[in-house]
Amino acid sequence: MTIPVLKFDAVIVGAGGAGLRSAIQLSEAGLKTAVLSKVFPTRSHTVAAQGGVAASLGNSEEDHWRWHMYDTVKGSDWLGDQDAIEFMVRKANECVVELEHYGMPFDRTDNGKIYQRPFGGHMSNFGEKPVRRSCAAADRTGHAMLHAMYQRNVKANTQFFVEWMALDLIRDSEGHVLGVTAMEMETGQIVIFHSRATIFATGGAGRIFHSSTNAFINTGDGLGMAARAGIPLEDMEFWQFHPTGVAGAGVLITEGVRGEGGILRNSDKERFMERYAPNAKDLASRDVVSRAMTTEINEGRGCGHNKDYVLLDITHLDPAVIMKRLPGIREIGLQFAGVDCIKEPLPVVPTCHYQMGGIPTHYSGRVVAPKNGDLNAVVPGFYAAGECACASVHGANRLGTNSLLDLLVFGKSAGDSAIEDLKSGKAHRELPQDVADQAQARIAALDNRKDGANVHETRLSMQRVMQNHAGVFRFGNLLKEGVDKILEVEKAARQLEIKDKSLAWNTARSEALEMENLIEVAKATMLSAEARKESRGAHVRDDAPDTPEFPNGRNDKEWLKHTLFNPVDNSIVYKPVVMQPLTVEPIALKTRSY
Amino acid sequence: MDRADYQRLRWRCVRRALLELDIALTRFLDNGFDQLDAAEQQAFVELADMEDHDLWSLISGQTKTDDPRYAPIVALIGKR
C-alpha cells in the first residue's frame, strides 16, 4: 500500500503555546508550515496555566533581567545552563510585548501598561525582596495566550491538522530528521509529513505518575518519538510536585486553602507539620510540605484503606469564608473525592505538576545529542521547544511563570533557527526506503497481537511504580526496586493488545500508542533518578541529606552535570552544566535557601 | 448516534485541556450519557464543544446557564 506523502517546509508537532509560537515565526517568514495536534489548538494543556508569564518589564516597580536571571539560576539549583537562562530572560520583554501586539488581553495598570504581580521565587536585587514580574490575563493567562496566537496563525496561513497523532520521527542514515509519520484519527490513515524542518512542541508527560495535575493529553509523545529515534533524554529525574492534589484524581487544591487556615493531618488526626516546620507549619514551602506528607505516609500514618494519603482539613473554617475565599474548592472535593470539605477533610497527596527535563536542545531550539565525542552535536533538521524540551533553563526546579516564558522564547527561537537553517534553500532530503515501517509495524502489532497486555492495566502499573518509587521524596532502596519494576512494566508495554481494530476514531489504539510513549519517559525518569546520588532541586533523596559538607544534600563536586539517558541501551552519560552566561559574569554556586 | 460520532465525541471528552473535565466528562460518558434521548445527547455534544474554563465553571456551579437544553445536562454531569 502506498502511503500518502505531504510536503512542507516545516512540520510542528503540538499546538500548545510553544508550537503556536514557532508556527507564527515560520508562517510569517513565508514558509509552508503544518501544525499537527491531537486536539483543537485551544484545547491544549497550556490553557490550564493560570499564574502568568515572567518578564522584567518594570511596569509596577524597578526590575532588571539580571535579577530575573539570578532567580532562575537559583531556582534551578544551579543545574540550569546560564547561557540559555540569560538568553531567555533577556528575550522576555520582547516576547511579552509581541504577544500584546497579537491581541493578548493582559491585565492593565491605571496608566495602561501591562499590570504585573508578584510570584513565588521572583525577587528584586539578587534575592532581596519579592518583585512584581508576572504578567497575567486574570486567571486565564494560558487560555488567552493560545487564543491570541491561534488567531495570528490563522492570519499567517499556518495549515492545521487537527485530531492527528504523530507516530514516529523520520531520520535518514546520516541522522538528519526529515519529518514524521502521523495518523489521522478520523480515518486511521497513516500519512508521511516530509519536511525540511521538524519542530517538537508536544508538552510534558506528567501522566507517568499516578497522581498528576496534568490533563490526560500529557503523554510525552514527543519524548517517546525522540527516544525511539535514538535521541537521549536529558535530566528526566527532575519533576516538580505540588503538595496538594486530590488523592486518586490529581486535581489541584490551590495553596490558598492552606493560606486560609487549612491544616494537614495524618491518620492520628495529628497536625504533623508542627513537627517538620514548627514556625511555618502548614505554610512551609512546597518541597518541605510534600516531603513531610510522604514521610507520614511511608511511616504508616497515611489515611484510608491503603493508608496512602493525608487529610487537608478546613472543617474548622466558617463555611461562608470557604465559599467566599475559596470558590470552587467545595465542588472539587465533592466531584473528585466525594467529600464535602465543609464537613469532612479532603484526601490529598503530593502530585506531579511539571517536567523539567526533556529532549536536549541548545537555546537556539536546535536539538543536540552526542555524536563522535561531541556531547552537543546538532541533530540536523530537528528542533524542540516548551515542556518537551530541555534547554536547560529550569535545571533541577522551575520557578512559577517561567514555563509560559519558556514556551514563548524557545518557541520563537526554534522557529527562527529553522528559518536560518532553511535559508540556503536546500531541497527536501530523500526519504529512506523504510520510511514508514516503524509506525506501520507498531500499528500492525497492536492490531494483530493476541493475549497481550491490557493498556489500562499496564498504564496503572506504570503510574503506581512511578508514584511509589520515584515520587516527590526518594529513597535509595525504593529507587533500586523501582528500576526492576519499571523494566518489568516496559516488557508489558511492548506487548500491548487492543480489542477494537476499527479505523475511525479508535481511541483504544490512540491510548495504546500514547502508552508506548509514556513508558519511554517513565523508564528514563526512574533510571536517571536512581543514578543521581545527590539531592538537588526537585530530586530529593533520603540518603543524600542536608550536611555541612553537602548543604541540602547537593554535591556539586560530583553531580553538577546533566543526565543524558540513552533509551536504546538504558545507558547514561553526563554532560557539563554551562556555567558561563552570554555576556555577564557567572552566578557563582551557593546554597539554595529562601 | 452512530459509532464513529460517538467515538469522536469520546476523544473530545477524554482529551481536554483541563484535568477536571477529562475526569468529569469521561465519567459521564461511561455512566449517564447512554440514558439520554437524542436531543439531550445533542445538547451534551454542544456543551462538550465549549471552551474548557467556561464548561468547568458551569459544571462546578461558579456560573449558570439559562439555556433550558443545557441546564439539566450540566446538572447531570455535576451529579456525583
Q: Which pLDDT tens digit goes with each residue over A341-368?
A: 999 999 999 999 999 999 999 999 999 9
What would the grid cell of residue A12 be? 510542528
**What's chain A's average pLDDT?**
95
Per-residue pLDDT, A593 = 83
Q: What pLDDT is recorded for position A224?
A: 98
Q: Between the CA atoms of A237, A238, A243 and A246, what dihedral angle is there, to the nearest 10 degrees?
A: -60
Give rounded-to-5 percent helix, strand, coil for chain B. 70, 0, 30
* Whether pLDDT at A136 is above 80: yes
CA geometry: angle at A20 spanning A16 and A26, to 5°? 150
pLDDT confidence band for A325 (50 / 70 / 90): confident
Of B8, B24, B59, the CB nearest to A505: B8
Query: Whole-angstrom Cα distance, residue A469 to residue A486?
Result: 10
Q: Tell me what the mean pLDDT of segment A430-442 comes to.
A: 92
CB contact at 8 A, A20 and A206: no
**pLDDT band for position A82 (cuts 50, 70, 90):** very high
Phi-psi region of A112 (alpha: psi -120 to 50; beta: other; left: phi over 0): left
Q: Is A505 on the interface with B (CB under 8 A)?
A: yes
Nearest to B19 among A38, A215, A506 (CB): A215
- Which residues on B lie below 8 Å from A38 (Cβ)? 15
Q: Looking at beta carbons, which residues of chain B come within 8 Å of A186?
A: 8
Q: Does A431 touch chain B (CB under 8 A)?
A: no
Which of B20, B27, B62 is best to mutate for the A interface (most A CBs within 10 A)?
A: B20
Does residue A246 carry a pLDDT above 60? yes
Q: Distance, in angstroms, between A460 CA and closest chain B CA?
A: 15
Please give, rounded to a whole number of angstroms, the shortest distance from the CA of A331 to a CA of chain B. 6
pLDDT at A1 over 70: no
**Nearest chain B CA: its distance from A166 CA (Å):** 15
Which domain, by its residues, includes B56?
A: 3-79
Whether A411 has a pLDDT exceeding 80, the answer reads yes
Q: How many domains does chain B have?
A: 1
Nearest to A360 by CA among A349, A371, A351, A352: A371
pLDDT interval class at B80 (50, 70, 90):
low
Mean pLDDT for A541-556 is 96
Residue A475 has pLDDT above 70, yes or no: yes
- Cross-chain Cβ contact A48/B7 below 8 Å: no
Contact A577, A556 (CB under 8 A): no
Contact B16 A216 (CB under 8 A): yes
Q: Does A435 touch chain B (CB under 8 A)?
A: no
Rounded distance between C-alpha atoms, residue A94 and residue A416, angstroms: 14
Contact B25, B77 (CB under 8 A): yes
Query: Hey, what amino acid is at A496?
Result: L
Residue B60 belongs to a domain with what CATH number?
1.10.150.250
Distance in angstroms (rounded) separating the CA atoms of residues A474 and A467: 10
Query: Is pLDDT at B22 greater than 60 in this prediction?
Result: yes
The strand pairing partners of A384, in sequence order, are A200
Among all residues of A, which ones are annotated catalytic?
A: 286
> Given pLDDT bands bounded at 50, 70 and 90, which one contains residue A226?
very high
CA distance to partner chain B, nearest, from residue A547 (Å): 40
Q: Is the pTM of this model over 0.90?
A: yes
Of the candidates A494, A586, A473, A489, the residue with the CA atom closest to the CA atom of residue A539: A473
